[in-house]
Structure 1
Amino acid sequence: MTTQDRINAYWTGRAPGYDEYQQRSDRLAADQQAWSAIWAQALPPAPLNVLDVGTGTGQVAIVLAGLGHRVTGIDLADGMLDRARQHAAAMANGPAIRRGDAVCPDFPAASFDAVTSRYLMWTLREPETAVANWARLLRPGGTVAVVDSTWFPNGLDNASENFVGFYDAQVQSALPLATAKSIDHTVAVLARAGLAEVTVTPLTSIFELDRQYGVAPNHEHQMQFLVTGRV
């Protein structure tokens, strides 16, 4: 199996439980409101053509479509794509969900006004190549907006996630942001890829929701960040 095959297999297996947690009824409305505000602030007003890379279960793509954007979500994990397609089909003007590689999205240059991702950067191979490819897909003035955190600063081998057999030494060596100790490493990736006006914003609203409702299993209560840049 290639590095990406192992990552895909892990997230396909995680998809049902991951999606069920994201759809928790006690928190769903509060999450939708908070994330809608975050993405509305991160991007220019709708309607934009947006590519959501590593879309997973489609949570970001769904929120962006709800804001009035024309959204395409891509992923390589079949289990995640199945969940995302179910959610997209349940809404009017939902996102288009396609199989696609976040590192090398197969679209013509200048196809989009924005590229987004959430919880992808840490598990993204060749992040600088990926961000440079995202920039190529953007029209002048377009935005890259990513959300992530420093999930595993002490290493994946010490994580409480069940990575055994998937995120092995081969995979870990291909993921330069997996064990980042500061979000500044992600900021630097966007800057080195040639994006301008790179900014980082702590997501205090999500931090407070995590304090109120608790965090996902095997995670700690920590700050998440929005990092944006423009071409």
Structure 2
Amino acid sequence: MTSDRGTNFVAAGVDWDAMAAVFDDEPDHGLRDATVRAAWADRLGDWLPRAPGDVLDLGCGTGSLSLLAAEQGHRVTGVDLSPDMIGLARAKLAGRDAVFLTGDAAAPPVGEQRFDAVLVRHVLWTLPGPGRVLRHWCDLLRPGGRLVLVEGRWGTVSPVGIAADRLTALLAPLARDTRVERLSDDARLWGKEVTDERYAVVSVSPAAP
């Protein structure tokens, strides 16, 4: 299994505060390799709104996806439960139109603010009550906003994660125009070949005209 961090810094048995200093060593975390970085930038360019808008990055970790979103002109709010991760994200996006908050991705501390996109990578599977969490995330969207979820299932003996068909079923009553993109066959995203289930789900707020 390739472990990714979740909203709780002891999620999946890992202390993410302790892992913060080495988190970006993974190719798909730090995006230090130009090919991996470009692959994620291309995907985000397709998933996020074309016009600059407000993006909420939940479980943002060290802010690698937040940085790509900011480089594409978006105003970013990042949330992570790990203070050490948040500190690194703030440093990574210093001078950018970005704010980082320590808090729970399941109930982000953003008050009444609403967003043009909510971006969440490898977090939902760590949370109890995913249906309830998805409803709350959809409520954080402006009319026509996009919910972008990057998820998967890892391992063969005792797999963990959430399958795409389960996730789309949970989203069915909450959003419209839901599409699934399979990501397992794009080695550029991960810096290596992978065989487990990795995918993105993009849904549009049902209040869109």
The alignment's TM-score, normalised by the length of structure 1, stands at: 0.75
Matched, 1:6 2:13: no
RMSD: 2.6
For residue 209 of structure 1, what is the aligned residue in structure 2? Answer: 188
Deviates more, 1:57-66 or 1:196-205: 196-205
Q: Percent identity?
A: 31
Matched residue type, 1:214:
K
Tell me the amino acid that sits aligned with residue 128 of structure 1.
G
Give the 3 Å change call, closer, same or farther, for CA 34–99 of structure 1 in structure 2. same
Match 2:123 to one of 120, 124, 137: 120
Helix, strand or coil for the counterpart of 2:25?
helix
Partner residue, 2:4: none
Q: Quick check: 2:39–2:189 contact (8 Å CA) kept in 1?
A: no
1:114/1:23 CA distance change after superposition, 3 Å: closer
Kindly state the Cα deviation for residue 144 of structure 1 after the two structures are TM-superposed.
0.3
Q: In structure 2, what is the Cα distance between the partners aligned to 1:52 and 1:136?
A: 15
Residues 185, 68 of structure 1: CA spacing in aligned structure 2 closer, same or farther, 3 A cutoff?
Answer: same
2:176 to 191, 196, 203: 196
CA apart distance, 1:227: 0.2
Match of 1:54 in 2: 59
**CA 1:14 to 1:77, structure 2 compared with 1: closer, same or farther past 3 Å?**
same
1:35-50 paired onto structure 2 within 5 Å? 35-50=40-55
Q: How far apart are residue 94 of structure 1 and its match?
A: 4.6
Counterpart of 1:224 in structure 2 is: 198
When the two structures are aligned, how many residues end up with a matched partner? 196
Shift in Å at residue 126 of structure 1? 2.3
Question: 2-side partners of 1:58 and 1:117: how far apart?
Answer: 12
Structure 1: which 5+ runs fail to align? 157-177
Matched, 1:101 2:104: yes
Q: Is the 8 A contact 2:176 2:203 kept in 1?
A: yes
TM-score by length of 2: 0.82
Deviation at 1:198? 1.4
Moved over 4 A (4+): none
Which of the two has higher C-alpha Rg? 1
* 5+ long unaligned stretches in structure 2: 1-6
Q: 1:143 to 1:15 in 2, by over 3 A?
A: same
Q: How far has the Cα of 1:77 moved from its partner?
A: 1.4
Q: Which has a greater percent of strand?
A: 2
The answer as to whether partners of 1:152 and 1:179 remain within 8 angstroms in 2 is no
Deviations 1:52-110 (A, max 9, x none): 11111111111100111000000001222122122112xx4252111121111232446
Q: Are residues 1:155 and 2:158 paired? A: yes
